[in-house]
């Protein structure tokens, strides 16, 4: 597998336990907003039984001018994440493979988009909306339901900039699960199949919301999920 070398520029704490790793874009490296990729440690080893690679979404868009992944590192964490938390520093290299995936926002074929994001599942949404910020489609409304049970939201500065620049994107920061499902239901009842529905969260959350939406009469083809395995 071909890997590119990306130099780490900055490590930014986003919430009490999530961190963004910001890197220079290697020469010749390209990706599309919403894609994910295999990252590999360079010059660091992990304990036996762990792997030196992980799949993370590219949380930045090409328009950002940098590569970034954002990950949650809880108190008990893998050897891989221990290197990210305690050893990796600006100037180091992360290796990055060729990106994969086709999780996109379709502003041409739909009047509206509802984004349903849970916790660290928001990473591809940041990328898609960063792209949309530079290429908004007139008349296309985007409603974002971003839920975190602890009320800790990543990328705060970005959401502020996005709402200032593109008022047709409506952000909702949610900490209550009933509100999360309630707002989903009322949007689906009001907009039905005129809208597309992007669901980005844990596998359990994605299944629950997909079933909820299809139960409300939304065609499965209008519900798109980005599945994070293993967290
Ligand atoms: C398409 C795709 C995109 C993805 N994008 C992202 C992304 O953008 N950001 C992201 O964070 N993840 C993303 N993931 C998930 C990611 O690949 C990892 O699976 C996930 O972050 C878990 O990492 P980890 O294995 O290092 O475990 P950790 O996160 O370190 O731990 C996972 C769980 O195991 C427990 N645990 C870990 N080590 C120990 C231990 N020694 N003893 C006891 N318990 C322990 C932890 O408490 C935790 O509950 C994505 C996955 C896919 C498939």
pLDDT digits (tens, 9 = 90+) for 72-110: 999 999 999 999 999 999 999 999 999 999 999 999 999
Query: Structural domain boundaries of the chain?
Result: 4-96, 112-227
**120 CB less than 6 Å from ligand 1?**
yes
Name the CATH code of domain 112-227 (choices 3.20.20.70, 3.30.750.24, 3.30.110.40, 3.40.50.80). Answer: 3.40.50.80
Question: What is the pTM assigned to this prediction?
Answer: 0.96
- Per-residue model confidence (pLDDT) at position 228: 62
d(CA 124, CA 135): 17
Determine if ligand 1 sits within 6 Å of the CB of residue 173: no
CATH for 4-96, options being 3.30.590.20, 3.40.50.2020, 3.30.70.270, 2.40.30.10: 2.40.30.10
Query: One fold for both 4-96 and 112-227?
Result: no
Closest C-alpha residue for ligand 1 atom 32:
231
Distance 54 CA to ligand 1 centre (A): 8
State the closest ligand 1 atom to the C-alpha of 74, by its place in the atom list counted from 1.
Answer: 47
Q: In the chain, which ranges are E strands? A: 4-13, 18-23, 36-41, 53-57, 67-72, 93-96, 112-118, 141-147, 169-174, 195-201, 223-227
In the numeric block, which tokens belong to residue 134?
Answer: 């530079």
By alpha-carbon position, which residue is closest to atom 50 of ligand 1? 228
């Amino acid at each position: 597998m071909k890997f590119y070398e990306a130099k780490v520029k900055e490590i930014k704490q986003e919430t009490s336990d999530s961190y963004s790793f910001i890197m220079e874009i290697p020469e010749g490296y390209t990706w599309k907003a919403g894609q994910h990729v295999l990252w590999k440690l360079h010059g660091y080893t992990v304990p036996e039984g762990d792997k030196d690679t992980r799949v993370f979404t590219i949380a930045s868009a090409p328009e950002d001018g940098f590569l970034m992944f954002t990950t949650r590192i809880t108190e008990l964490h893998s050897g891989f994440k221990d290197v990210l938390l305690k050893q990796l520093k600006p100037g180091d290299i992360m290796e990055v493979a060729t990106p994969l995936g086709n999780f996109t926002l379709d502003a041409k074929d739909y009047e509206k988009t509802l984004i349903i994001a849970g916790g660290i599942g928001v990473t591809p949404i940041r990328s898609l909306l960063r792209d949309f910020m530079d290429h908004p489609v007139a008349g296309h409304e985007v409603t974002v339901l971003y839920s975190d049970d602890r009320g800790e939201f990543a990328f705060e500065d970005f959401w502020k900039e996005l709402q200032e620049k593109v008022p047709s994107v409506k952000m909702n920061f949610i900490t209550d699960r009933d509100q999360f499902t309630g707002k989903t239901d009322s949007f689906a009842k009001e907009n039905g199949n005129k809208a597309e529905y992007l669901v980005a969260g844990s596998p359990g959350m994605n299944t629950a919301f997909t079933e909820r939406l299809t139960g409300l009469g939304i065609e499965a083809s209008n519900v798109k999920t980005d599945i994070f395995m293993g967290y």
